[in-house]
Chains A and B, each alone.
Chain A
Amino acid sequence: MIPAIFVFIYLAAVLYIGIFAFRKARGREKPEDYFLASRSLGPFVFLFSLFGTNMTAFAILGSSGHAFSNGIVTFGLMASSSGLVIPLTIFLMGTRVWALGKKFGFMTPVQMFRDRWECGDIGTAIFVVQAVLLVPYIIIGIMGGGTTLNVISGGLVPYWFGGAIVALVVMSYVFFGGMRGTAWVNTFQTILFLTFGVIAIVVIGVGMGGFRSAANAMLASPALAPLLTRERISPLYFFSYTFIPLSAIAFPHILIFCLTAEKMNHFKKTVIFYPLCILAIWLPCVFLGVMANRVTDVPQIKAKQEARRVLATQGKTMTPEARDELREQSAGDDVIMLLLQRYAPLWLAGLLGAGIMAAVMASDSQILALSTMFTEDVFAFYGGKRRFGEAVQVHTGRIFIVIITIVAYAVALRAPETIFELAIQYAFSGFAALSPLLMAALFWKGSTKWGALAVTLWTVAAVVAVAVFQHAVPAPAPGPPLVAWAVGGTEVLTRTPGGTAVFGFMPVVPMVLVSGLLMVIVSLLTSKPKQSTIAKYFSV
């Protein structure tokens, strides 16, 4: 229970930060202040809050879980590629979006697209797709909060109650603090998990008797040695993953965050330090996830390894349902928490639990982004702001935050978590496929609204097609993939144990490439916006 007390202290602290931000903003009840902190964030808060916004529960729990099952490849797959692509996109596109926001007063990406391509309803279509792809993150954040509190308290706090507490705390500081409160909380959270990642690796390393012996013991074991190499993942799959970080700049919450910097110079530190922040958080998590395989005295870890072994040796003869059950049993998302429980003193496990909680609660920015998008792209666009005024717009945003949190909590209580984990996988590819929208809007004078519509419809069709395919064709046992379509001996479409492959690539590769092609072809065939509109954008 002691670790849970630390977590509750942490929750009280973030709640206080939100309320403090609310008091600081009193008397400035304007949409730009509530939703964008008056575009006034300083360099330090901008760096840590932007980074914290992008670090969801997956960064700590999911990365160590993935590394537990797949080995060191997790770091190159998800972290170092993001460390190159994300700051590069912030450098190239984030700065331009910031400048356009300052110049024309945009508060959401859809506002910019509507103005850039002179389109109203197509903007609404983009809003709907962005919103649908964003909702699973909010649900999974609440689920993660419930599960983490339940595990940290040793089962004393039930899942439904833990989820309710997390939902209430996140809703409260977003409700009161708006962007300012969310940015401050994200900064606090990022500092927490940057600090505790280092502490965790030292404590667990000492507890395990040093990593040197653990690494050598793994090398000596035929079953575990491959985890210290990348032989379980194909080079094509590894290459495909470099397309996933393109999703970051297409996420509405990241783009909206880009509008909050006071000066463009504040991007400089973010761009330079982003890869180092990723290194500092992911390297310990991935390494600990791999090393967890050497722990012999934690029964839950042994049970996961046994499930993995059964899946590998007998998976082919099992039903798809039995395989899915074993996959779930072998999943390592809680290995970091198990290692902390085994090796860290109670008080430190509590502090580290608060750090993990910080990562799990990263759904705040998505909630605020959805609220900003709803009030700007729907409420204000369809005349609400003109009729009722700015104060009502902010109230509408706050009511939306309450409604979306309650709905997300209700869904989190009823639906199985795996569905939303899958939805997030699709969402990453979906947002990556939407990234050509932003590239075309910012860099190509010839792009048109019909090109934008083609990209949006293609993204929806591709995400639905992958989801239907994976539902219709169950994942095979570990080993060679199941070939669904081959032409002249070339495998076109295959079902792999972890997902789908098109010509050996992850679906995100054709999704992004076709999106880009559609933008070019459809734009070339359709009429451009007025010259005056184009001139507005390309003088910046």
Chain B
Amino acid sequence: MKRILLVIAVIALYFLHQDFWFWRTAHPLVFGFVPIGLFYQGCFSVAAALLMWLLVKFAWPQHLEQEIEQQKTEEGRPR
């Protein structure tokens, strides 16, 4: 279930990148000088970092590292 939610989150964020709703307007100017389209995409980058954090926390491919560790242990074992 966790994995399905993460896949949905990735797809949702990908589509949120296409923010056609701010396409033809610069207003409001955030902080008085940042056009809303640029501010949105800046926030999008922060959201991408948060999503990456979720992926690392809940879907990290731990088994890959475990296999390498196991292989190292086997190689180090006296025969």
Contacts and interface: CB of A to CB of B under 8 A. Distances in A.
- Sorting the interface of chain B by its residue count into under 10, 10 to 19, 20 to 34 or 35 or more gives 35 or more
Contacts of B38: 72, 75, 283, 286-287
Nearest to B56: A268
B8 interface: no
A274 B52 contact: yes
B45 A278 contact: yes
Interface in B24-79: 24-26, 29, 32-35, 37-38, 41-42, 44-46, 48-49, 51-53, 55-56, 60-61, 64-65, 67-68, 71
B35 A72 contact: yes
A447 to B, nearest CB: 20
Tell me whether chain A's interface is mostly helix, strand or loop, or mixed: helix
B45 A279 contact: yes
Contact of B64 (A72, A231, A264): A264
Contacts of A242: 14, 17
Interface stretch (A57-65, A87-95, A406-414): A87-95
Nearest to A280: B45
B61 A96 contact: yes
B67 A79 contact: no
Interface in A216-236: 216, 219, 225, 228-231, 235
Given A229-B23, A272-B52, A103 B71 contact: yes
A212 B35 contact: no
Interface in A257-282: 263-265, 268, 271-276, 278-279
A84 B35 contact: no
Interface in A67-97: 72-73, 75-76, 79-81, 83-84, 87-88, 91, 95-96
A6 to B, nearest CB: 30
A91 B52 CA distance: 8
A73 B41 CA distance: 9
A540 B64 CA distance: 6
A469 interface: no
A99 interface: yes
Contacts of B45: 79-80, 83, 275-276, 278-279
Interface residues of A, number: 51
Contacts of B24: 229-231
A231 B25 CA distance: 9
Interface string A35-62: 0000000000000000000000000000
Interface string B1-18: 000000000100110011
Interface in A92-115: 95-96, 98-99, 102-103
Nearest to B18: A239
B14 A268 contact: no
Contact of A215 (B23, B35, B61, B71): B35
A80 B26 contact: no
A540 B41 CA distance: 37
B41 A80 contact: yes
Most buried by B among A230, A231, A279, A540: A230
A529 B71 CA distance: 24
Interface string A281-293: 0010011000000
Instruction: Give me the 3 closest cross-chain CB pairs, A-B, nearest first.
Output: A228-B26, A99-B64, A275-B48
Interface of B: 10, 13-14, 17-20, 22-26, 29, 32-35, 37-38, 41-42, 44-46, 48-49, 51-53, 55-56, 60-61, 64-65, 67-68, 71
8 contacts: A98-B64, A99-B61, A211-B33, A212-B32, A215-B34, A264-B61, A271-B52, A272-B56
